[in-house]
């Protein structure tokens, strides 16, 4: 498996990132978030952690290859959305984004992290297990298109 590109930068997401974020979002999910949803989270700087991964390889602007959206509510970090462009998957970019989000959550007082993932998405589940997420429940029929259960995963040791 290729390693994380050495020129990868994890940065706060801004409005200027949304065209690239939305392009990855639409290609990654059957029911993608809308621009309004991303903008709403970007306005909640007290709650939301919005991160992008960019390759600083000399191109200007550096290409955006992935993003992560999370909320910190009291002592819980909730991972809402994580995606990497198809061309850049399996190179450690999702790991780098998740690591950065967990660190940011820790700095904001989170003592546990929670997320939902499709029960069929074993690749994502393997990633989360690398970070000590464990299954804690199931949300029946949580996802649409196709209808599918969500596995709730939680990490208390990060």
Q: How confident is the model at residue 158 (pLDDT cuts 50, 70, 90)?
A: confident
Domains recognised in the chain with CATH numbers: 8-113 (3.40.630.30)
Determine the average pLDDT of the residues in 110-123: 96
Predicted structure pTM score:
0.92
* Residue in 20, 25, 67, 116 annotated catalytic: 116
* Residue in 20, 67, 128, 143 annotated catalytic: 128
- Tens of pLDDT along 22-67? 999 999 999 999 999 999 999 998 889 999 999 987 667 789 999 9
Active site residue 116: yes
Other CB atoms closer than 10 Å to residue 5's CB: what's the count?
Answer: 17
Would you say residue 137 has pLDDT above 50? yes
Which residues, in sequence order, are CB contacts of 60 under 8 Å at separation 6+? none
Which residues, in sequence order, are CB contacts of 34 under 8 Å at separation 6+? none
Active site residue 20: no
Would you say residue 1 has pLDDT above 50? no
């Amino acid at each position: 498996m290729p390693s994380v590109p050495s020129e990868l930068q994890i940065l706060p997401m801004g409005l200027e990132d949304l065209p690239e974020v939305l392009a990855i979002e639409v290609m990654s999910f059957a029911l993608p978030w809308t621009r309004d949803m991303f903008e709403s989270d970007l306005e909640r700087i007290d709650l939301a952690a919005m991160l992008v991964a960019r390759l600083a390889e000399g191109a200007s602007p550096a290409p955006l290859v992935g993003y992560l959206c999370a909320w910190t509510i009291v002592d819980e970090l909730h991972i809402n959305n994580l995606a990497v462009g198809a061309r850049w998957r399996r190179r450690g970019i999702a790991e780098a984004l998740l690591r950065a989000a967990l660190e940011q959550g820790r700095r904001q007082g989170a003592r546990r992290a929670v997320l939902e993932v499709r029960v069929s998405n074993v690749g994502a589940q393997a990633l989360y297990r690398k970070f000590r997420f464990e299954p804690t429940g199931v949300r029946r029929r949580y996802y649409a298109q196709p209808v599918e259960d969500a596995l709730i995963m939680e990490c208390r040791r990060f």
